[in-house]
């Protein structure tokens, strides 16, 4: 097998090498484009950024709405379960760290708060401050807090406008209860 070799002489101009094709040797107007193209490029970049922000905002809104609706559903289910369990006190299951006293579950918080903050805190736990129904419940509660040597709030507050003690369910304290 014979291989043929061919030689040729190549003559290149001096400014055609790799160093001459660098961006610094290009004319200044090649990279800049017309003012209209620059404006269109800036406008399209701003539009893309705005679109990304709108999509992100809408996504966060949808996520928060889904969480709110699921929280609402949980509170309804819990409320239905509470109704079922309070009809049969022997089946009452109190959450962890809550103490069962007769037909109620009590939570003695170790956080010291004003009455209004305690009322709001109970609301976040889907509960309420203690409503004492009768003298027996009052006696049991007094014995319990005496044994634990703690102070706590109940669902009774003095109404300045009516100048009476008012329960959180809207009824007024009766002296013969």
Each residue of 6-60: pLDDT tens digit?
777 877 776 655 555 555 555 555 556 788 888 899 999 999 999 999 999 888 8
Domain count within the chain: 1
Query: 109 lies in which domain range?
Result: 99-167
Does a structural domain hold residue 139?
A: yes
Does a structural domain hold residue 125?
A: yes
What's the token pair of residue 86? 């309070």
Rounded to an integer, the average pLDDT of 55-80 is 61
Q: Which pTM does this prediction carry?
A: 0.45
Does a structural domain hold residue 94?
A: no
CATH number at residue 109: 3.10.100.10
Does a structural domain hold residue 20?
A: no
């Amino acid at each position: 097998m014979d291989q043929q070799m061919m030689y040729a002489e190549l003559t290149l101009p001096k400014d055609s090498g790799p160093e001459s094709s660098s961006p610094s040797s290009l004319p200044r107007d090649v990279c800049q484009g017309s003012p209209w193209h620059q404006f269109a490029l800036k406008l399209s970049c701003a539009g893309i950024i705005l679109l990304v922000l709108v999509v992100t905002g809408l996504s966060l809104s949808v996520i928060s709405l889904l969480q709110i609706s699921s929280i609402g559903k949980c509170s309804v289910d819990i409320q239905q379960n509470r109704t079922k369990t309070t009809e049969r006190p022997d089946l009452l299951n109190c959450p962890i760290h809550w103490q069962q006293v007769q037909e109620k579950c009590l939570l003695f918080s170790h956080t010291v708060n004003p009455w209004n903050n305690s009322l709001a805190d109970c609301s976040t736990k889907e509960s309420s401050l203690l409503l004492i129904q009768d003298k027996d419940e009052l006696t049991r509660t007094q014995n319990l807090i005496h044994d634990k040597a703690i102070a706590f709030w109940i669902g009774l507050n003095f109404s300045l406008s009516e100048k009476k003690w008012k329960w959180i369910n809207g009824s007024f304290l009766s002296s013969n209860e």
